[in-house]
Amino acid sequence: MNSWTEGALALIVVVALGVGLLLFAGEGLGDGPAVEEPQQITVDPEAAARGAVLAEGQGCLQCHTTDGRPGSGPTWKGLAGSTRPLADGDEAVADDAYLFSSIVDPNGQVVEGFDAIMPAFYADQLDEQQITDLVEYIKSLAG
């Protein structure tokens, strides 16, 4: 073989190895680790206002703070949209579904560092609109 053919063959081998490596790694050229976009939180202000009244009336604020201080339950300040470490080692994003579920099934996903002490009767005591209002109130405390 002449040097031109050997050089072309070497180039083909290098390109093939590079393509194989990119396919194996699952990333393209210039791609770094995926950056999670901040979750845009939209709040219904009227529902949030109803939720604030409900939170006070139902005693939620006896355990949950709204100013970031720890309580016997997780603070609601900055909760919505955040990633929550759970007691079982998993993580959950505190989106609408997570917040709703945490009210109706509070022992389903307990936040790391907290005991499973939240009463489980809210699913029977509150209707869907009231729970949604509480979720909107919690979301209003995100920023």
pLDDT at position 27: 46
pLDDT at position 70: 84
Q: Which residue has the tokens 């393509």?
A: 19
Render each residue's pLDDT in the chain as its tens digit; 143 residues.
566 556 545 556 555 555 554 555 554 444 444 444 456 899 999 999 999 999 999 999 999 999 999 899 999 999 999 999 999 999 999 999 999 999 999 999 999 999 999 999 988 999 999 999 999 999 999 97
pLDDT at position 78: 95
Three-state DSSP at 114 gives coil
- Count of all residues that appear for the chain in the document: 143
The gap between the terminal CA atoms of the chain, to the nearest Å, is 68
CB-based contact 85:91 (threshold 8 Å): yes
pLDDT at position 38: 53
pLDDT at position 20: 52
Alpha carbon separation from 130 to 11, 92, 125 (Å, rounded): 66, 23, 10
pLDDT at position 40: 83
Integer Cα distance of 45 and 116 in angstroms: 30
CB-based contact 9:95 (threshold 8 Å): no
Helix then strand count (H, E) for the chain reads 5, 2
